[in-house]
């Protein structure tokens, strides 16, 4: 249910379009839940709980009949290699936010251009947002390892001409990081289009931008995202 809900939130926020993009959650060292596709798939925005299937890290069904009528995403290695390399992470979101892709292709480096507008986003940018330079379909373990190497110890990585990967301890946090990155990219594009210059906030301001942590900010933000889905 959590992964399916997160897929719908990501779509509602414009982080994915159509059938592209997927989110996973680690179950143990051999299994994960991941959004899969079927012949009745209507797109990420319409993800059903049944679209999330239990599979092994090698792509085989996690139990008998689990993939009947379903197929694993081509880019499963994004999830598997990230989870293998980042034992502290339980969730991976691979999404296609257009603003992030456009900003990167325009040569814009994600910087902490604002502060209290979005404190988690500001800290995300301050810590650095790496870029995986290849615009390929990451469908092999080798390519997955390349992406993970580019990601390093950061929570998100931009895949040039492709999308992003966000890894976190929880499924909501993985999606919230993606939302913050999308907001940063969108604001950067707006500043540039208005003829402005992208300048990081003053160093002296960081002391008054406390990192409140996921126990407060993520929980409240996720309640809001879920409530948005429930609006008619």
Any idea which residues carry the catalytic annotation?
75
Nearest to 174 by CA among 94, 73, 85: 94
What is the full DSSP assignment across 101-124?
HHHHHTTPPP----STTSHHHHHH
The C-alpha atoms of residue 198 and residue 217 are separated, in whole angstroms, by: 26
Q: How far is CA 66 from CA 6, 118, 199, 227, in A?
A: 21, 40, 50, 31
Which residues on neighbouring strands pair with residue 167, listed in sequence order? 92
Q: What share of the chain is helix, strand, coil (3-state, %, to 5)?
A: 40, 15, 40
Nearest to 37 by CA among 47, 27, 45: 47
- Whose tokens are 């290695």? That residue is 77
Our measurement of the distance from residue 125's CA atom to the centroid of its chain's CA atoms, rounded to an integer in Å, reads 15
- The single-letter DSSP state of residue 57 is T
- Please give the structure tokens belonging to residue 176: 């919230």
The pairing of strands 131-132 and 70-71 is unpaired
């Amino acid at each position: 249910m959590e992964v399916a809900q997160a897929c719908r939130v990501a779509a509602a926020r414009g982080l994915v379009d159509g059938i592209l993009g997927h989110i996973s959650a680690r179950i143990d060292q051999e299994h994960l839940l991941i959004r899969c596709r079927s012949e009745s798939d209507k797109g990420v925005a319409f993800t059903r709980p049944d679209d999330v299937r239990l599979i092994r890290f090698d792509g085989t069904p996690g139990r008998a009949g689990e993939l009947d009528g379903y197929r694993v995403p081509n880019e499963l290695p994004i999830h598997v290699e990230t989870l293998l390399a980042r034992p502290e992470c339980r969730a991976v979101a691979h999404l296609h936010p257009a603003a992030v892709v456009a900003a990167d292709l325009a040569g814009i480096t994600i910087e902490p251009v604002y502060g209290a507008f979005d404190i988690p986003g500001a800290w995300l940018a301050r810590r650095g947002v790496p870029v995986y330079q290849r615009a390929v379909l990451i469908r092999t373990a080798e390519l997955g390892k390349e992406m993970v190497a580019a990601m390093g110890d950061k929570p998100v990585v931009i895949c040039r001409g492709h999308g992003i990967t966000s890894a976190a301890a929880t499924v909501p946090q993985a999606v919230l990081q993606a939302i913050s990155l999308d907001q940063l990219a969108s604001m950067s594009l707006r500043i540039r289009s208005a003829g402005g210059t992208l300048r990081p906030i003053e160093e002296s301001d960081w002391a008054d931008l406390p990192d409140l942590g996921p126990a407060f900010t993520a929980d409240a933000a996720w309640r809001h995202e879920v409530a948005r889905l429930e609006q008619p």
